[in-house]
Each structure stands twice: as structure tokens, then as C-alpha cells.
Structure 1
Amino acid sequence: MEMQQVHRSHLLKKFQCLMEGITHQGNPTLLRKIYTDLYITEGGRGGVNEEHEVRQIERASWREAACDRPIKCNDIFKPLYPQHKSFKTVLTKGVAGIGKTVSVQKFILDWAEGEANQDVHFIFPLPFRELNLMKEKTISLVDLIKHFFSDIRDPSVFTSSQHRIMFIFDGLDECRLPLDFRSNPKCCDVTESVPVDVLLTNLIKGNLLPSALLWITTRPAAASQIPCKCVNQVTEIRGFNDPHKEEYFRKKLSDESLASRIITHLKSSRSLYIMCHIPVFCWIAATVVERTSDESGSGEMPRTLTQMYTHFLIIQVSLKNSKYTEQEERDEEMIFKLAKLAFQQLEKGNLIFYEEDLRECGIDVTAASVYSGVCTLIFREESGLYQGKVFSFVHLSIQEFLAALYVFLCFSNRERNMPEQQQTSQLSALFRATTLHDLHKTAVDLAIQRKKGHLDLFLRFILGLSLESNQSLLRHLLPQTSSQSQSSEQTVQLVKEKIRNQNKSDRINLFYCLNELNQHAVVEHIDRSSGTLSVVMLLPGEWKTGEFKFETREEYLDEFDLQKYIKTPEMDQTELLSPDEVLQKLMPSDVFKSSKSAIMQFCPLTEKSCSYLAADLTSHSSSLRQLQLMNNHLQDSGVELLCSALCHPNCKLEKLQLDNCPLTEKSCSYLASVLTSHSSSLTQLQLTRTYWEETPDWEECLEWATKSPLVTLSSSAGCHPDCKRWELRLQDYDLTEEICSCLLFALTSHTSTLSGERLWIMGEGERLCSALSHPNCRLEKLTLDNCPLTEKSCSDLASVLTSHSASLTQLELRNNKLQDSEVGLLCSALCHPNCKLEKLQLYGILTEKSCSCLASVLTSHSSSLTQLQLSYSHLQDSGVELLCSALCHPNCTLEKLQLVRCPLTEKSCSYLTSVLTSHSSSLTQLELTVKELMGLDGHLTQKSCSYAMSILTSFSSDLTPLELIDNDVQDSGLKLLCSALCHPNCTLEKLQLNHCPLTEKSCSYLASVLTSHSSSLTELQLRKNYLQESGVELLCSALCHPNCTLSKLQ
């Protein structure tokens, strides 16, 4: 049909390009190139939602997507369920700028190109903002269509039953026609001339063209204008979800790296990212970032809404200046007029306005196109009904920004700009403010009074414009604006006070207000009467507030963990108080003051926090006894402040941990001064794995400490008999000759009361061992991890062990590559009558040959060994046999044997079983914590399971976790294991059977364990098993049994 083809061509030409933000100015973009799917769902009907639309966006973002039924744009007239009929009238809701008009455009474009909805023969889009211009007209439906679409000349389009027609009425919220569905006369004739509003009500009610399809779009607040009985389906456009946002920016910005940076940046700020649900805001953000980012990528991106919109205004004015070079009107005058227009229309609740509204504000309508970068001109110059002009701002948020700017400009230049007739307006109080704080207080009160949040963004912008950083941007456009950057601290305290007293919705906007003032969204409040500290904050990653109450009773305040109160930069980079600032705010509260221990690791804190902590430590009221500052860069100045406080008579701190804190020589000297102080209460100083920024003068530092009458120093130092013993941990260091000299001095000091800790010795072994044999040395525990010990080193250690004056009772030689001969030297010493060693760790050392030497130690009547750690060693069957034979010897006093991650075969398990069943064995604990019970091929066999069973049922077994991951245990093997798990002696609590091919029969054996009254099992892992439905039913039934003690099932 020729007329239909002409009509399609007309619509294709009209709707194939998208004019983002403006409709008359700018560069057109093909819709298909930029279009990003919108999230459309069933919208229900519900009541009228009069809340501010940003609040509605926030609320929509909380909903679980799984609860919604998404609808494709082209499918809105199709039934949601097969048994339903197609819809005749669809009402689509969505907040301003969410994509209603673009959805209409995409729907029409797909139809015009023959891609969708081809059962429809004609589509007639009739925007309400254009129908408003015909408010006084009387016209028939046929003539109305002819005037809008000159290609439609044949009235049979409306009268023929062969034609299916669709009308699209976009923007019901902009309608200024009196849609009186009760009183308007009935009209059934498409040729009858009636007022336009009568045509519309009869089309919607179905009196006129009852078979026509109708699509009406609207903002939520106006949806109730259409009677429920006239609508078959309600949908809601939610805008962009998170994947849509990324897709849009990657399509909009040709520079891939810039697109990635803006996505990352926007995600870091909730107040910006939530606005990205609105496609128009994405366009604004992309426009701003594209202009403000330089080629190096170092350009500062806006971090608040006020910054974003200020930059947007500057960009649009610069575009205007480049296009209209001969304009006489200054930028300042133009902006003030637009801001006045925005404020007046915001007061009236208008989103669209007409020529008379512009004239009221002194705007020349004939030159209105100059303003169109900021104020969209809906301007048509075609014949017929397209000659009127309708105006609106690009988005409601821009109107609110300009309205706030108007208030700020009037306040800044009160003598020149103060409005004359504002007495009748509710917002008139804003113009009576004499100070910036008064203005803020008035704005906050007015916004709170509007319970639906209609002034939420307006308030944020008023507060944000008071910052000097935003004013300096504006001065490029408004040079005569005086600075109004008074301290915002009063306003911050006012907002925080309001937060404590408002409901959740108001709280959220007030939190955003704090962000506009560059303040972190944490508000603390101490209620002395109830004894609680209430901390209210905007939860990380969530669009809601959380209120946490912390009891101040002593038993709940033993520990203060700063990590609970701070957000890391990875979670939120822009709405972030530094950890130093969070600590400063919380220290006056009871939640900190009453704590005995403070954990502040990985925060990261700087020297600023040291000053706050020093002040607390020196106060009479401080309760701190332990302070953990691991992994913080405190710097010399920070350490100096802490050490000065530690020497104060009021300081009661006993334990300080500075692990992984980069320290310099100067920092060490400060710490040494604490150690020599008579007034210090410090008993433990931990410096594990500390990174030294420079080589410290250890000799000087340690000698200061050792010369103190109060303290002797070493790896774990003792102190004067009148003082509590304290420990200094020096773990994982390369100790030089000088350091060893200092340590040896401390070890041999007659005042030493050493109990021991860890040392990593690099060289100086002979001198160390000489010190360990000194009569004054009381070191009981020595750890030599990852040390290159030689045969000479082992000989020196052996001499220590055989010395009658040595005090060593624990020796740890983990991860040292000892030869069999070197192990033999140590074992000989262990059999000596003078040897007092009770605990020996040969972690990852022992071989099969070494086992014979160790077996001789275990059978020696003079051996004192009670605990032996041989984990991560490849003992082989012969080695295990030698050890187990020794364990059954009457002279053996060993009580605990650890064989963690030692690969044991079936034969090895049989040897261990004989020990567990021996009457002469002293063994009470056997640790086999992972996959020790494996076959020669690396997998458990049925026989292995039988040995595991004997171990599990032994009264001496201390096996609590057992991992059988990726083993083909088979039904028979699992049956044996499950039988053992039900034995009264079995203490196994955790069983892992991941990736084991379990059958239904296997599940029945496991179910019997779960229902056994003697089972100790609390955790069961069955991941990556293809359990049959019948097997799952057996397990579920067992979980419901009263005897089941399982608390975790995976």
C-alpha cells in the first residue's frame, strides 16, 4: 500500500536519529548506534506516587531483579502469559529522563524498518507537549492526523476494518488539556469536530476507534489521570541496570580507556552511580567527562552532583559562545535568566513551559535557540500545527540545579539580584537569610517539610554550591559573584543532627548532602541513659542507612576494631572519610574509651592517628591495655608521639604490636627509650616481619635497652625481678654480627628471665649457642625457621642440649634441609641425661634413614620427649615402621605425634594401628589432618579406609578434620569409615568428600552417621558429587533427625 510506505518513510526519517539532551541543536546520532536496552517491567497500578523521582529510582534499585518480569520494548502489547489476550491500551510509567521517549522512538523505528509489530498498519505518535498547543482548537480526529501527518489523506485509514491503527501519546505528565473522563461528551465519529481533549478522552475510553491500540507514557505522579478501567496493562521503565550503564558508556565514548575510567569513577560514588539509572544523566556524565579529561587521563573527574552539573553548565555555555559569536548578552545575564526561569517553574511544579514563561524572566523568545544547549527548544517550523514553541530543560535535575543556582546568586549579590515579589511563595524564606548558615538551615528545613522529597536535589545543590571549589568553577562564568565559602562545619553539624531525628528516606538524602559538603556519611550519637553508642551510616554498596548500637557495658567493650567503622577505598573512593578521620571521630565515644584492646591493622593509619592515640593513652580515663597497629605507615613522627605517650605515667598500655610497619633507625631509638623508661607499663612489643626502611643501629638500640635496670632484651626478653616479664619478638630477620652481639649480651645478663621466642639466625651460630649454654640464660624455646644450618650448626646445637646449664625445652627446626648425619648429631644429644628437651619440631625435614636415629631417641630411658612434630615429611613405610616400633617400647614417653600431610600407605596405617592398640604405648594424640591415608597411587583404597577406621575409633586419636577429596573410596570403603564415625571413641568433627563418586548407597551410610547419637560430626562437604534425588532425600531426612549435630553442609 503506497500510503503506508510513504508514512513508514516519513517516520523512519523522523526517528532514525537520536538528538541526545536537545532536539534542535547538536549532532544527530543514529539511534541504532547508541541505543541501549532499558529495563522495563510490569508496573502494577497501585496508588499515586508523589515522591521525588530520584527517591523512586533509589527505591527501585533496592528491589531484587528476580522478583520482576522483564519486558522487551517491542513486546509491550503482547500478553505476558499464553492464555491471556493481547492488550489494547498500555500505560508506561517512568521518571523524567528514564527513557520513555527513546523507547517510543525505538518502537516506531523498528516498525518503520519492518522489524517488529508488522500486524500494525499505521502508527501515529502524538506527544502531549505538542497537543497542548491546540488547547483552544476544535477539530476532528481525521483532520488532527492530517495536520500532524500530511501524507495521510485517505479517511479510509480510520474506517476500514482491514487497518490496525496505533496511537502513541508520549508525556501525559506534560498534558495541559482538561482530560475530564466523567463530563466530556461522547464522540464516536472520526469526522466530528470537537475540542482536542474530548478526542483524547473518547479514544482512551474506546468510544472512538474501539479497535485502535493506545500507548500512553507518563511520569508516575500523573498516571492516575487515566481511569484504571481504561488501561489493560501497566509497565514501568526502570532505566539502565548496571550492565546497561556500562554498555551505554562504551557505545557513547569512542575512547575505550576513557569509557573504562568513567565507569570505574562513577561506581566509586553512590550519589553519581544511582543517577546513572537515568539515561539522560549518563549523557550528561559522558559529556562532562569527555570534556574534562585530558589526553593523559589525569583530568580530575567530578566527584559530586554539584561538580558534575557545574561542569555541564560551563560546557554548554562554551558551546553557545562558539556558535553565536555576535551575541551581545553576557553569559552572566543569560545564566541568571535561565536560573530564574528554573526556580519559578520549579515552584509551580512545571517541567515544560511556553513563550509567556520565558518573557516573564526577560528571555527574548526570538533568540531562544541560543539557550537551547541548556534549555531544550521543542521547535518545529513545518506547516500546520507545528508552529508553536514549547520549552523544557534537558532534565528535571538540571532545572533543580539552576533553581539552586538562582537562590545562591540572589544571596551572593543581595543588593543587585534580590527578587521583589517572593512574599507569597513557600520558598520565600530562602531570600530572607542573612548568613550562609541561615540559608542552609532554611533550605534543610524546607526540604524536610516536603515529605515526598520534592526539594531533595535542590537542597543538595544549594549546599554543594557553597563550597569554594565549586564557586571557583562558576567564577569563570559569573565573575561578579562574591565568594561565600564560609566554614561549612556549622552546616555539617546541623545536617548530622537532623539525620538522627529523621525517617529513613530523609536520612538518605541528608547523607547525600554531607557528601556534597565533602563529608563522610557517618553520624555517631552517644545515648548516656541507655548506655549505647549509635552509629548511623550509609551502608557500603547499599542504598539504605544502617543504625548500629554498641553496648557500653564492660563485657561487650573488651575490643575495639576500627575496620568495622571504616570503608576501604576499593569499596568507595569518593564518599570516604580517611581512617585517621574516622578514628578521630570515634575516639571521644564510649565505644572506644571503654575498650581494653584496640585493633587497627590494615586501616591504613598515618602519623595523624598517632597523635590521637597518644592523647588517649596519656589520659586518666584510658582503658587501653593492648594496641595493634600492624601494617600501618606511622612514620618517625608517629612513632615518636606513641613512644612519648608510652613513657607517660598515666599510660597503662602493656602490649604494642607494630608488625609489618616500616621503621627507621630513628623509630627504633624511640622504641628503645620506652624500653629503658621507669614509667612505662609495656610488657610486650611485637615487631614481626617489620620492614626496615634503613638499616637500624641495632647495637645502639639494644644496648640502651639492656643497660636498663628494668629490662633485659633478647628475642623474648625478661626484665627486672620486680617487673612483669615482657617479650620482644624479632621474627624473620637477617641478624648481623652486631645484632647477635646485643642479643648475646641480653641472653647472658644476670637479670634475664627469658622464656623464649623466635629467632632467624643468619651466621653467628656458635656465639648464639655459647650464650644459650650460659648459666644466666633462661631461654626455653628456640625457633630456627628456614635457616641454612650446617653440620657445624647442628654440632653447636647438640652441645647446648647436652649442657647442664641450658634451659631449652622446645626446639623448632622447621623447613631446614638437614642431612641424615646432622639429624644423627641432634638425636645423640636428645639421648643425653642433661637434655631437657620436651618438644621437638622437625617440620619437613625427616627422611626414611633419619627415622632410625629418632627411634633410638624414643626408646632411650633418658629421653624427655613428649611431643614430636614430623609433618610434611616423606617417611616411607620403613621409616613409619621404625617409629611405630619405638612408640610401643616401654621406655617411650611420647604423648603427641603429628604427621600432618605425610603421605601414608596402607602398610603405614597398619603400623600406626598397632601403636594405637598397644598397651605399652603412651601416645594420647595423633594428628593426621589432611590426606595422609592414601594409597600408593595417591588415592584411598578400601584397605586404607579400614586403617582409617581403626584410627578413628582409637581412644587416643586426636583426628578432628579428615579430607578425602578426589578419592574413589567406593561404597565398601565409605561403609567402613561411616561405621568408625558412629563409634563412641571417634571425635571427628569435619569430613570432606568433595569430588568423590558417591552413590545412593553411600548416602545411606552417611545418613546413618548423621542420625547416630554418638557421632561428633558438625561439618560435611559433598561438593562436586552427582548425588541422585533418592540420595539427597536420604540426607535431608537425616538432617531432620533429633540426633543430628551437623551445623554446616556444603
Structure 2
Amino acid sequence: MDFIFPFTFRELNVLKQKKFSLVELVHHFFTETKEAGIWIFADLQVVFILDGLDECRPPLDFSNTQILTDVTESTSVDVLLMNLIRGNLLPSARLWITTRPAAANQIPAQCVDMVTEVRGFTDPQKEEYFTKRFRDEEQTNTIISHIKTSRSVHIMCHIPVFCWITATVLEDVLKTTEGGELPKTLTEMYIHFLVVQAKLKNVKYDGRSETDPHWSPETRKMIESLGKLAFEQLKKGNLIFYESDLTECGIDISSASVYSGVFTQVFIEESGLYQDKRFCFIHLSVQEFLAALHVHQTFINTGVNLLSEEQTTSQRSGSAEFYQTAVDQALQSPNGHLDLFLRFLLGLSLQANHRFLQGLMKQTGSSSETNQEIAEYMKKKISEKLSVEKSINLFHCLNELEDRDLVDWIQEYLRNGEYNPEYLSPAQWSAMVFMLLSSDKNLEEFDLNKYGGSQEVLLNLLPVVKASNKAVMTVYGLSDEGCEGLSSVLRSQSSSLRHLDLSTKDLKDSRLKILSDGLRSPDCKLETLRLSICNLSDRSCEGLSSVLRSQSCSLTHLDLDNLDLGDSGVKILSDGLRSPDCKLETLRLSGCLITEVGCSSLVSALKSNPSHLRMLDLSYNHPGDSGQELSALVEDPHWRLDTVRLEPSGVQWLKPGLRKYFCELTLDPNTACQRFKLSENNKKVELVEEFQWYPDHQDRFEHYPQVMSSTGLTGRCYWEVQWSGQVEIAVTYRGIRRKGDSVDCGFGWNDHSWSLECHEGRYSVCHNRKCIVSYESSSPPPLPPPPPPLAQYQCMWTVLLDLCPSMESALTN
């Protein structure tokens, strides 16, 4: 690299009235290049760093700008920058642009090669910060525990500056109000922060005592001036203020310098390249709070609604309309720049938050009726089809109003464990998304099966899927609409999804094609895809092969177990494996009807691209002599392949579907409960009123109406159960308890067993006292029925069990 040229938009903003060529702009900021006589950069390796896109004035309009290719032609700075970013100017140069997320979408996606997200503190780092900030261990533990009780505060603490604000506030509150209540909402936190700064000014600059009134006339005037500046510039999206901005708000440059000298932890003065002065708040959230305080003060003191297009002094419209206007404006903002402002404004409406602002503004807050009215207004908005980000912000607003009804209801709904998604309203779905995304539980793995797993669940919880590292959805089929939703997640530049498990979905070839469109997207970062038992045929391999050939594909693990792909499908898939762009490291093709012909295609593909694949599973196929050739590749140092699974193998595994794993089971009379009647050579069981005579046996279930099979299960096992009434189908370790009425004896109620209970369209899967309940029909969840006196097994249920070697000797059914 020959040159790195760092620019800040704060500096570039000063030049908005001037014209430069690209060469002149470089010479202007880096005079050494001009002195060295460097005028041509095309032959040099150059990096431009453009820092703070969100501070750029005016916003860059890429849809309507002149094309410029000559580095010596002069134009305005914004046109210069847009042509540099588009690659029209100095296309050999590389750019690194920093910005807050809200402004990132200003740059066209086709101009972006890579996005790096610089995240704030992780949860352990938050605790580390407070541990180092306070020496007193008891105080530290009190503060950390308190922060964890307030989700909005805990979430904001990922911002280092907010951790500092929180520490400043809580330290002061603990010192001055012993045994008092600590601030729980963002509004309370920022009110206390302003009080701390006012007290600091009183003591340090005014020679007063900490016990004196906080809001002297001088302090009040400063807060009012800074609030007006904060609001006027927030409306414009400005974070940096120049002399002209101050003048518009009635602040002269000398007063601004005084403010920055007094409120050093609120308002900052900087000097530019040519000693021009610029100002900013210590953090955007401080600007948003002061802006909200200014708007609230103005309305309370004068009745003027600064958010209304027609600013009258009449209050006949009432407080509710004032806050509804704020909600509407925040929802209309394309980049969410009023979100935090709205949270502060609504928080300031609470009467309880005014006790620390006595002397700064009139003590007139909203009535409880008004707060309830605005809360209901926001719930109505949440019921509409808002973006996830806007819905989540409205929930944060409800939290500032201390209204948690929706979230509390969802928490209770989830605690009950019996999910019927069809009866959730749009607002309740939004509440669930908010709760899951703001939960302190790690989204490393999100299992949709726990929430019912239906199509409606998937579509409503797509934002949570998008935020998760791994998503599991192995219940119910996927419609075209569901596949489109998943495909949009895969195409999203901001998606965190890296691992997707769709095993046992009734996916079908046409829907895999929809998913493949997302997998081919240059923004798709998926690394693992599981499609086992998904009802896919050889035709599905064309889409998967095209994905593997895609240069942007990140897939390293692909599971296609138990799909009837056959040799024709494997041949198509091998075309993808042969591509130099294929990065696959693990490929599972167990039970896929593959013969020697298909294995030969795999051998050929691996010889063409030996650099990536490390594990190949071909068990439960019939590879013939080609299997030995694949095994030989493991020993060859030129191939990365180090594991090939071929056994069990043989022609018996070339049966379509799951019936290849069929095992015939009989019931063991020595385990049957005495209310069970066995018949038809111990293949049929009924629950009867009269006790059956069985000899005493140590394996018999003494209390629970249960029976086990005569033989244990090994390898892959498939069987079918015909049933009617109410039935429970289970697999268990042999060591399950048999005697007594302890729940440890019941299938699914211990860590020794897994059970599936079926009754009148209601299905529950249980393990270790945890159950997931689902409903087949659209009827409301029925009350738990009493055990029927008679259950005869006649309706078909299909079961496939795949046991790992460590479990084979211990499990039975």
C-alpha cells in the first residue's frame, strides 16, 4: 500500500461551498503530497478512509448525480465523493467508510464489497467495565444486578458511553439517596444524568453547595438553549454543529464555548484543520434526550406543539394528540432517527419523572388517562404491519410508560407451554418478537419447534430467525410463502443466520428452488444446511449444484441424508462439487439410494477439486467397488478428505423412502402394566378396566400404563403404529424406573426417555419433564382430558429413529 488518506466528514462539511478536483482535495488535506509533486495516483495503491458518513452534509444522493472520471476536474465535494464511491474516479483505489447504522443504506449495495459491524460491549464486557469502574465489590454487584433487572438499560449498556452515563448516575444515586429507588428506565437515567451535571456546575463553576437547588437561572437558560439546538439539529439529522447552526438557534459562538466549558460532559467543542470551531453533544442519546426535554417543556409551558406543522398556542387538542403526533412522526422516519427521542418524550410525560426537574419546568405531567390513551394508541400501531425495528421501539416506549401488559401476557403464554399460534393477534406476535430479541437468553440457537413450528410461527418470527446464529424448524411443511420468507433472510445483508436445520420438512423440489435463490445471494453467509428427510428428489440437486458453484457461496456443511436422490441426483450434485468455488467440507448422503455409478461421479468430482471436502457419509447405500476407491483417497496426502463412511452398505438399502429401515416389533409381556391387555402375538395392546394376570417380574411397570418392546433398537429403525383414542409412543433407555408412582417412571418425564402423545388432534412431545404441544386443527386448545378407559391402536403414525452407537445397546421402545 503506497498511501492511506483518512478524511472525516466533519472536515469535509466545511468545504461544502467550495469546488475541488480529487487531486486538489488530497493536496488540500495532505500538503506533503503536493510538495512531493504527486499528481498522478492511478499507478499507486491508495486507500481512502471516509469517517462518519452519518455526519455528512448534505446526504449523498447517488440516484441523481453527474458522472465524473477525471481526477483533475473540479466539482463540489459531494459529487466528488459519490463518484469516488461509485468507482468512477480512481477505480483502482480502495475505500473504507465508517458510519452509524442509520446512514449505511445511503451507499448503493452494488458499491459495497464487504460490511464490518463494530459491536459494542458483550454482556461479560459490560460486567467487566463496572467491575473496573467501582472498587467496592458490594456496590459493583448492586449496580450490575440492578442493570440486569431493566432490559432497556441492559441493552443500551452495549454502548460504552452509555455504560459511563449509567455508572455516573448510579454512583451518585447510591451516594445521595441511601436506600432509595434506582432509575429503571432510560428517561429516569438521563434525568438523573442531567441533575448530576447541574450539581457539578454548581459546585465547580458557581461556588455553590451540592445541596443548593440544581436549577439556577443561568443553568436553566443553558439547558433551554442546548435543548433548542439539540431539537432543531435532530430534525435535520445533524450531529455536528457549526457556527451557522448555532446562529439559527440564537446561540452565539462565545456562548457555545462557555457551555462546552461548563457542561464538559454534555457539550463538546472541537477545532478543525484551520481552527474553525465545531460542536457536538457527548453522545447522540444526550442530544435526543435534550431535544425531547425541549419539546416537552415548550408544550407544558406554552401549549405549543413543536412537532405539529401548524404550531399554535392552543391546548384544546390535548396532551394525547401531542404524543400521538410524536408517535406518528417517529414511525414515518425512514431511518429511525426519532426513535430514542420518542422514548424520552413519552417517559417525560410521567408525573413521577418530574420530581427531579422541579425548578426547570412546570410540574404538569400527563394524567393516567392520557398515558393509558397513548399506550392504547401505540398498541394499535403495533397491530399494524410495521417493520420489526419500529415495533420494537414502540415496545420500548410502552416500557417508558410502565405499560408491560402485552409482554407480560406473552411471557405467561410461553410459560404455559401449550401454544396455539392461530389465536395470537398481530400485536401479540410483535410482543413475542420483541421479547425474544430483547431477552437475555443467547440467540445462538433458535428452535421454532418450541413455539409450535407452524407456517404462521415461521412467518411471524422471521426477525428472530434473522438475528439467530442457528435456526431449527423441523416440524410441519414449508409453503412457498415460508420459503420466500427464509430466502429473504438468507439474502439480507444484516442477517446473522449461519446454520439452518430444515430436516423432516415436507419441502419439495419447487420450494428448494426458492431457497436456492437466497443461497446464491452474495449476502448469504449460511455455512450449514440440513435437509435430511425433506421429500426431495434428484431434481432438487440442480438448484443445490448451482449454489455450490456460486462464487459467493459460504456453505461448508450440507446434510442430504435420507433423500431419494439416486445416482442421477448425485451426478448433478457432483458438478457443483467439481467447481473450484465449492467450499464444502462435510457432505452427508446417507440412505440416498446411491450405487457404484453415483460413487464414481463423486470420485471424479473430488479428484477435480480435492482442496475442501473432509468428511463424506455414504452409509446405508450400495457403493460397490467405487467405495473402496473413495476410501483410498483418505490415504492420499493430496486430498483433504480424511473421513469416508461406507457402512452399513448393501443392496438391501436401495429401497425408496424410510421403509428401508423397517423393523418388526413385538411387545414384552414382562414389562406390561396390569391394565394392559396384549393380543395378536403381542403386537396389539389395549387399556382395559379389569386387571390382567401377569406373573411378578422386575421389569414390569407397577403403576404407569406402559409397555416396552421385546427387543432393543440398534442403528436406524422405522416402524408404524396404528392407534385410536389416546396413545403415547416413546423410546427409552432400559434403565428407566419401573416400580412406584414417581414421575421418573413415566415416559418423557425423565432424562431416560422421549415420548409422543397423541389425542384428538393434540400432539405433545416430552423429554425430562419438558413438553412441546401442537394442534392439528384450528379449534381452540382443549382442556386436558382424563385418561380414557379404552385405547385401541388403529390410526397410522410413522416413526424413524436414528441411534448413535453409544445409545444402541441401551435403548428400547
TM-score (norm 2): 0.47
Structure number, greater radius of gyration = 1
